[in-house]
Amino acid sequence: MVVWRQLGDLVSSSTALGLHRQIDTGRPPSYLSETKKRLFTIIFCFDKGSALLTGRPPALSYRYTRFELPLDISEDALVQGGEVLRAAVANLDENGWNKDGQIYNTTSTRAHGMLAQVLNEVLELSLGDKDVCTAEKIS
């Protein structure tokens, strides 16, 4: 029972902090903005994983969140900031993935975040009203 309370507290805290409503300000990425993206993506993934394991509805829905996946840059570049961070951002492709072939912690966070968005849709169909789960929606 303690685990479910902690998950509820985690989700409540993250939404109270506004992590679910990340808005593109047009400013260059910073340590703070990227850390928020990383943190909420991990929370979102954890929520989907727990829903998948237990069959309980997820506490967060992609429909009610506005978050961006974190950029695929190293922790070192993020912490150093300045020119190092700008160079790392400039070395990303148009989708935010690094082009140097490295696998960072954020690489898996981004991939899991993309999967969690799909899992969210699958959970909506599988745990929702069976009359709404049509072949069209599944396709």
Per-residue pLDDT at 4 exceeds 70:
yes
- Provide mean pLDDT across the span 52-64: 85
Residue in the structure block whose two tokens are 């169909």: 125
Higher-confidence residue: 61 or 3? Answer: 61
Two structure tokens written together for 51: 């829903």
pLDDT category at 67 given cuts 50, 70, 90 is confident
Using a cut of 0.85, tell me whether the model's pTM lies above it.
yes
Two structure tokens written together for 131: 């009359």
Instruction: For residue 80, count other CB atoms closer than 10 A to its CB.
Output: 14
Closest CA to 68 of 24, 101, 6: 24
| Pair 45, 112: CB distance under 8 Å | yes
With H, G, I as helix, E, B as strand and everything else as coil, classify residue 66. Answer: strand
Closest CA to 19 of 72, 50, 86, 64: 64
- Quote the CA–CA distance of 5 and 93 in Å, as a whole number: 40
**Could you read off the pLDDT of 25-44 as tens digits, one per residue?**
778 899 999 999 999 999 99
pLDDT category at 133 given cuts 50, 70, 90 is low
